[in-house]
A and B are shown apart, each in its own frame.
Chain A
Amino acid sequence: MRTTTTWTVLLAGGLLALAPAAAATAASPSPSPSSSGPAAPASTAGNSFLTATSLAPGQDASVDADTGDYLYWSFAASEGQTPTVTVTVTLPAATDRHGPQTWTTEVFDGLRRRQSCTAGTQSATAAQSAATLTSSCTLRQIRSWAEPWSGDPLPGTYYVKLSVADAPGQDLGLPAQARLHIASTGGADDAQPEGGALKAALVPPVNAGATLAPDVTAAPTAAPTATATATATTGLLGAAAPAAAVSHWYSDWFSQWNTRWGWTLAGGALASLAGVAGYSLTRHPRRSRRPGAYGPGAREQHERYVEATRG
């Protein structure tokens, strides 16, 4: 019986150690840089939402631009992530400039809705003598689902717009260089609300539409996401779209795979062990070969028995 107890304790300890380990291994379904490493920095930027240069996950951008240009990039973010956009601007030669410059980093979602920055210097001002300027914006955590009426960040395309918010008129048009870096923390396991899912990521269409006859009641549903996904891989046409998960017959069961499975299984195992342990604690003392070893009051019974036999 002592061996049983030892086993129980050991296994319980092992399972307890296992549960967080499972949590750690399962918590990384976010798009990670492929084994070939991140792509080379993009050398272009669009000058409107429609022509924004789409960046692959982990890809930076390094662009020669002019002071006063409106530079657009798009990147994909998936649920649970918290993207941070960091921009470093190498300003024109200080001798050519006539005053301080303010550069602003703005982030918009796939529906061109302005996204709030929770941290970072969204608008940075550089003195006339400064050589570089850094601006950054940390978004809210991307939610897995939100009501249509809310403006919460959702999986899909995000646009970064870098522009000069304020500069002396004479300084517009001077050459500057902008470097963009996007980092993300978190993964699908943290996404709120749990169990929520957006049927289609917020990826805007980029192809021209068609005006229908006035009596048409159902518009053909174009597949902007499919087109955008296909073209996002080529990096030329279309807004950046999050990679879609591969579908299998068991996907429905485990598509929502997360650490809850590990925790619940571990909990069940522990409960059964505890049940066995609890049952064995109440074993009838008379059945025990070594009295006093198990059960509440067994030792007292044994002592009473010993005293009785002496007497």
Chain B
Amino acid sequence: MIHKMRAVIINRRKAARLPSLLAALAITGVSLLSGCPALADEPTGGPPAATTTEAPKVDLILDDSGSMRTADIQGRSRLSVAQQSLDEVVDALPDETEFGIRVLGATYPGNDKSQGCLDTQSLYPVGKTNKVEAKTAVATLRPTGWTPIGLALRGAAQDLGPGQTTRRIVLITDGEDDCAPPDPCDVARQLAAQGIHLVIDTLGLAHDDNVKNQLLCIANATGGTYTDVRTQEQLSKKLKQIVGQADNTYRQTPAAATGTDTCAGAPVLAPGVYSDREKFSEHRYYRVPVQPGQELRASVSVSLDRAVARDYGVLLQATDTSGQELVRGTDAGSGRTDVVSTGLRWAASRTSQDSPSPTAATTATTTSTAGGDVCLVVSNSLAPQPGVATDPGLPLELTVGLTTASPAPSGPVLGLGRGWTLLLVLTGAGLVCGLLFGWIARWRIAVWREN
């Protein structure tokens, strides 16, 4: 080896060739590798999203009560502004959207409350819209009667019918419901609790505080929006936005699940999104089968659809079937919010069977294994404000995912190094080795000469 090396070194030309060769190799290597396209970021075309046959459905409730004749929006009457905006929205309807119109207070002009408060009809049925017919129907409306909002909401829910996708009700009104009971906000909450996937967006044409509070309450109860209409352009724009939103997001609808109060009888969930209802201080259990080598990912959102105490929190726990906690996710806050949410990850460990807890070993009743069923427990630290209904429970949304567990990393890739220190150390080591070999060679020559 040393003889060989010496032979190389002694020859000047060869000695000059060796470093150049090495350097050339290194340079080619570096340039090749840096040009490597392995990490090109191109979106991959996956399978197309699951399509449903249901169309996005929007039912619009137009207030046609006597107060709509008030001319306070840019000098025009509230109804004429609403009519113009409706015309524009009908013109701009997406093809697949099924659109309907319901009116309230449109036919009974009298003073009999019991009769006036039943006055709500479907003006144009929910379905594929004939734009000319719909616009003609809207144009015939004249401000007339009472404001039975609660009843109109129920009617609209019937107009929309049952379905698996999210439907929207758009309420355009200028007045407080003067027909309560039923209180429209309670009606909205009950409709939402029926699990028929309704969202109610409200648009207020009057700037009265009571109207505003009522419409805000309706919107909050169903996860909708509230708009204070100041101009006709704003109304048109908002309506188009709502219709577009219905079109884009109606398929994102959770499946209904009903959690139980113990782990044993809890519903078994496959990956996906679920909705449920949870009362104040209630615990809800769900089960998810998790195999060894799988990772469970779960998240939960509790919507605050009514007035709750200032501070709030939510807790999502994963336990094994014996009730041992595996992991928890928690969030808390205070102030104005729509949901309070948290999530957790948990991977079924392959070795957890090796160390059973003393209690588990002695009682021998637990079937706790690595993998198997995991119970998800959703609980909340919410309190209602005085006078707020506690039934039905608050809307709860649960997502469950299962993926391959990710093992802990073993360190930098293939044991490669980085940095100036590395270069210095390697160079120093090379130098020392070179010197060492050189000295050994010299010493050997000297020994050989002497002999």
Q: Give A229-265 interface residues, CB cut-off 8 Å to B.
A: 229-233, 236-238, 243-246, 248, 250-251, 254-265
A282 touches B49 (CB 8 A): no
Q: Within 8 Å of chain B (Cβ to Cβ): is A281?
A: yes
Q: A148-B327, A224-B271 are in contact. Are A280 and B438 (CB under 8 A)?
A: yes
Q: A148-B346, A222-B271 are in contact. Are A254 and B33 (CB under 8 A)?
A: yes
Q: Separation in Å of the B205 CB from the closest CB of chain A?
A: 11
- Quick check: which of B38-46, B114-122, B154-162, B355-363 contacts chain A, the rest being far away? B38-46
Q: Which of A173, A195, A211, A236 lies in contact with B268, CB distance below 8 A?
A: A211
Q: A199-B405, A230-B49, A269-B23 are in contact. Are A245 and B39 (CB under 8 A)?
A: yes
Contact-residue bracket for chain B: 35 or more
A279 touches B434 (CB 8 A): yes
Which residues from B are CB-within-8-Å of A147? Answer: 408
Q: Within 8 Å of chain B (Cβ to Cβ): is A194?
A: yes
Annotate B414-438 by CB proximity to A: 1 below 8 A, 0 otherwise. Answer: 1011110011011111111111111
Residues of A participating in the B interface, judged by any CB pair closer than 8 Å: 1, 3-4, 7-8, 11-12, 14-16, 18-19, 22, 25-26, 29-32, 44, 46-51, 53, 64, 66, 68-70, 96, 108-114, 144-145, 147-149, 151, 163-166, 169-170, 172-175, 188, 193-200, 202, 204-214, 216-227, 229-233, 236-238, 243-246, 248, 250-251, 254-284, 287
Which residues from B are CB-within-8-Å of A257? Answer: 33, 36, 38-39
A216→B372 CA distance, assembly (Å): 10
Give 7 pairs: A residue, B residue, CB < 8 Å, sorted on A: A111-B297, A145-B406, A149-B345, A210-B269, A264-B418, A276-B18, A283-B10
Output the nearest chain A residue to B40 by Cβ-Cβ distance. A246
Which residues from A are CB-within-8-Å of B253? Answer: 208
A208→B253 CA distance, assembly (Å): 6
Q: A111-B343, A199-B404, A276-B18 are in contact. Are A206 and B252 (CB under 8 A)?
A: yes
Q: Give B22-47 interface residues, CB cut-off 8 Å to A.
A: 22-23, 25-27, 29-30, 33-34, 36-47
Q: Separation in Å of the B32 CB from the closest CB of chain A?
A: 10
Q: A208-B272, A267-B422, A276-B18 are in contact. Are A50 and B244 (CB under 8 A)?
A: no
Tell me if B's interface is mostly helix, strand, loop or mixed.
mixed
A49→B337 CA distance, assembly (Å): 13
A249→B53 CA distance, assembly (Å): 41
Which residues from B are CB-within-8-Å of A225? Answer: 403
Annotate B245-274 by CB proximity to A: 1 below 8 A, 0 otherwise. Answer: 100110111110100000000011111111
